[in-house]
Structure 1
């Protein structure tokens, strides 16, 4: 793949994310309300535990997500777990948005590839999946995409969203691209971030071999301060309604989430 092709793929990915992934529908019953991602997103609370253990979790700043050493090394596999609705998919969109807009944490990546695992079709390679994100005029092939990732692994961040929605097998007999990546048998030098609900995370934590490959991170949802900021942004044109909702939450939930 030529440098021009790499750059074009990056621009196509950014265009796709701007139009498809980095806009939020705050009201699922009203499809006419679509907000730009940065208008309402508020940072979630991230916690981490030591690699492969169940020790007490410690705060982890979002900006340190890809640079924090665990057990003396920067892990290549990150497992981000959280209950349904706490914001795991929004967290993935946040990563895409920050890469699109040149945030320092992600500016060294030529590509950030965010893949909702529920949409993966059996037999698809990473190249097949990424090809769906590119423009019709982009003539690169799935094999070229795979070869670039293999040759420049530090230039590509892969985000696999929703392991609990993936029907593939994590056993050593599974030969799909996604399964091999999850087992760190393919794209070993790439940083791969995986999100999941806790029940599927246990499949990795309870496997001695896999648990050594991953750093474990938890998304615990909005803090009280996050909730207040979110409400202010959502009701930016109706401050009275926002204030009333904030007071209601404080009275009925003790200021919690």
Structure 2
């Protein structure tokens, strides 16, 4: 099994668009930034306590957590973290021979050796299965043993899971469906209760409420890379001459600062795209759409080298492209399929799909193009009757970008298919977060319309303490920033539940100005004086004020204030928490 992991997990691509540019994971890996989530009644709250050891992942107050979840956004490094964990277990207690300061973080390899076996499972490859033991048989045992030896191996694994302490790594809960509505999580039989499960997922999967609060023994938040500039330099060293590295790296850091790309660098996938684009002489300006259209362009170039620019680009991010215009028909077909798979198909067939879907959307005609470019990938699936191929997009976020592009070209889909989709599940609006953010960078009108639908669904949850409200707050903020990065400064997104803190006050206040009359909840937490805020007349306590006009807040039901230097206009009963300065104007 260790040999399988060293073959399967030991290499990763340096570039998100060049499958041939690979390095050993240990040579380029940089530790992630993982924060503890504090378990409260019905919800989890992010803390500032960083987890730097494997022991910190598995234990709470020296007690092992049977089910541990690590949540993080697309491209944040969840899959890579599990791969590195499995490889560190393979290395044994002494760990890797590499010596650098990154080894200080997650260097307690002894914490992994208390597990006799580590089973690494990719959930997108077992979307219709619920039993973890069956997944292990198909994804691990069947790859190690020939058919005649498998039955004995199955029996041995079952005995191991009964009597030995094992760790099961389940990667990508958001890409898994299960066989029916009765199973919201992959399951272990009672006989295998010595096993610990470590599960990665995007936040929306937990926010939608199908996973019970009681099923989560510990939750961690993965927020990307701890030292993104270190990884940037490593990737850059693989792309430029050694003599030029220091000059190029210094110029790159200045470029990142000038274009305000620091936030995007926390995502390993985004970082890789930005560094590779910079090495090729393409400078970006902080738009996710711009980065993904660059990925599409780079992929298309691999299948068709013919170049042609747009006379009238369909969206601003297409302006500087050269390889997309000659392949617009292919792009549109792929985008249509991406959308329909996400919004119309059963979840089991929305991410991993068969040749039937390719034929339905006439992708079978351009299958070679899609596979040669790398925008689609394929794998063989064996059954008792016959073997066949299943297909998927290179990354779920790429499928979501293409789906957003299709919506931007067909606004009527929002009132039609998307509206029906949102009515399927009370929390369905949360799982389209990435599609919505991309849409903000493509078409303002579509994004505004969709934000209104999402907020309507969110407002149906009357619990003002629900984590779903704060999650939508974050999604709408990300959408505003994406719109601004694409030159749309006057976007009017809808939001009724506001959660202000010192990190979002400026951007969220722009949304507040258009939504004060619709606001249901106004929560201002731990606010501190901000520079460049308007100084109020007769100022006697605070040099700077954070001003909220409450006169037009006809729908407001909850007003929670915590902190200092908050200035309000209106007549409300105020709930005070901690030290705060408030007065009427």
On whether the aligned pair clears a TM of 0.5, the verdict is: yes
TM-score, normalised relative to structure 1: 0.78
User: Aligned match of 1:118 in 114, 124, 132?
Assistant: 124
Check if 1:144 corresponds to 2:156.
yes
Structure 1 or 2: more helix by fraction: 2
CA 1:245–1:216 in 2, change beyond 3 Å: closer, same or farther? same
Displacement of 1:169 after TM fit?
Answer: 5.6
Displacement of 1:127 after TM fit?
Answer: 3.0
Displacement of 1:218 after TM fit?
Answer: 0.7
Determine the structure 2 residue equivalent to 1:9. none
- 1:46-57 maps to which residues of 2 (within 5 A)? 46-51=34-39, 53-57=43-47
- Whole-angstrom CA distance in 2 between matches of 1:205 and 1:49: 19
- Whole-angstrom CA distance in 2 between matches of 1:56 and 1:66: 15
Higher relative contact order (CA 8 A, sep 6+): 1
Displacement of 1:45 after TM fit?
Answer: 0.3
Asked whether the equivalents of residues 36 and 50 of structure 2 are also in contact (C-alpha less than 8 Å), the reply is yes
- 1:92-103 maps to which residues of 2 (within 5 A)? 92-102=82-92, 103=109
- Whole-angstrom CA distance in 2 between matches of 1:110 and 1:128: 20
* Higher alpha-carbon deviation: 199-208 or 142-151: 199-208
Provide structure 1 residue ranges, at least 5 long, that are not aligned to the other structure: 1-12
- Whole-angstrom CA distance in 1 between matches of 2:75 and 2:67: 23
Displacement of 1:87 after TM fit?
Answer: 0.7
Displacement of 1:138 after TM fit?
Answer: 6.0
- SS of the residue corresponding to residue 88 of structure 2 reads helix
- 1:102-181 maps to which residues of 2 (within 5 A)? 102=92, 103-120=109-126, 122-123=128-129, 124-136=134-146, 140-152=152-164, 154=165, 156-168=166-178, 173-174=182-183, 179-181=186-188
- Whole-angstrom CA distance in 2 between matches of 1:254 and 1:195: 26
CA 1:234–1:125 in 2, change beyond 3 Å: closer, same or farther? closer
Displacement of 1:77 after TM fit?
Answer: 0.9
Provide structure 2 residue ranges, at least 5 long, that are not aligned to the other structure: 93-108, 266-585
Deviations 1:39-76 (A, max 9, x none): 11100100112245423423212333345315x73211
Check if 1:230 corresponds to 2:231.
yes
Determine the structure 2 residue equivalent to 1:64. 55
Larger radius of gyration: 2
- Whole-angstrom CA distance in 1 between matches of 2:44 and 2:14: 35
Asked whether the equivalents of residues 126 and 146 of structure 1 are also in contact (C-alpha less than 8 Å), the reply is no
Displacement of 1:19 after TM fit?
Answer: 1.4
Asked whether the equivalents of residues 128 and 142 of structure 1 are also in contact (C-alpha less than 8 Å), the reply is no
Asked whether the equivalents of residues 67 and 74 of structure 1 are also in contact (C-alpha less than 8 Å), the reply is yes
Asked whether the equivalents of residues 169 and 179 of structure 1 are also in contact (C-alpha less than 8 Å), the reply is no
Determine the structure 2 residue equivalent to 1:83. 73
- SS of the residue corresponding to residue 33 of structure 1 reads strand
Determine the structure 2 residue equivalent to 1:38. 26
CA 1:51–1:190 in 2, change beyond 3 Å: closer, same or farther? farther
- Whole-angstrom CA distance in 2 between matches of 1:21 and 1:92: 9
- Whole-angstrom CA distance in 2 between matches of 1:45 and 1:192: 21
- SS of the residue corresponding to residue 31 of structure 1 reads strand
